[in-house]
Structure 1
């Protein structure tokens, strides 16, 4: 999903794994699309660790920048979405797109353990999110 968002955003996008996202890199960005899976009703541990590591170094330094989110979930994604929204509220980021939640419907133990794949239609929604985000930045809309 993250790769599809970056593909849609085009050549100016920087795709980083959560472990690679450092405060200096995030400080240099004009906006953010946070993409992660929901695990046990929460954002992934790697994404949480990124926010833990970057929160205070960026506090008061990135206010007003745009953000969007994309979450893959076994059911509703609401827990991960709520966590991310609470954290970026402290950064005073501005949501510029409705949350994109891809429900993979993994509810049984077998489905939960199985490798997941995102449909082409949902990857298209991710590309559209990236494209709209980049276009908004480029036009100075946000």
Structure 2
């Protein structure tokens, strides 16, 4: 069964709310045969990444960059997973109070280095997530999980 690994750092209510929407979409009953595994960024291990078939990443934008927790996760898994995970799909959501561009760029740079393939444009949410943002997060989760069944 394909496994979708959701790696997240969700310290604030807005990032946690987006995580719940992403998870709800990924675990929708209409998507059969995909195991969804959530892992906080600071708890991520090399086996978690190696055992997954695709990745869904979530982070706040902190000072124009991804969270330190997600960067630590990448530092932990980068070289051990470099040759083994190329070509795997990933998607990303980022929450920021003012701007998300630097955080998106930093994650995409590392994911490109790993050889991961972005399946959708990053979901960038600035300010409190409204209904449109939550629907987009749900769709991101559902589409990413569904892509593993193709």
TM-score range, shorter chain: 0.7 to 0.9
CA drift at 1:34 = 0.7
Q: Per-residue deviation at 1:76? A: 2.5
In angstroms, what is the RMSD of aligned CA positions? 1.2
**Which segments of 5 or more consecutive residues in structure 2 lack a partner in the other structure?**
1-17, 28-33
Larger radius of gyration: 1
1:125 corresponds to? 136
Runs of at least 4 residues of structure 1 off by over 3 A?
none
What CA distance in whole angstroms lies between the structure 2 residues aligned with 1:87 and 1:103?
Answer: 22
| TM-score, normalised relative to structure 2 | 0.80
Aligned residues between the structures: 127
Give the TM-score, by structure 1 length.
Answer: 0.84
Aligned with residue 4 of structure 1, among 21, 24, 35: 21
d(CA) in 2 for partners of 1:2 and 1:16? Answer: 11
- Structure 1 unpaired stretches of 5+: 105-116
Could you list the per-position Cα deviations for residues 38-95 of structure 1 after superposition, in whole angstroms to 9, with x for gaps in the alignment? 0111111111111111111111110000011100012231101111111111110001
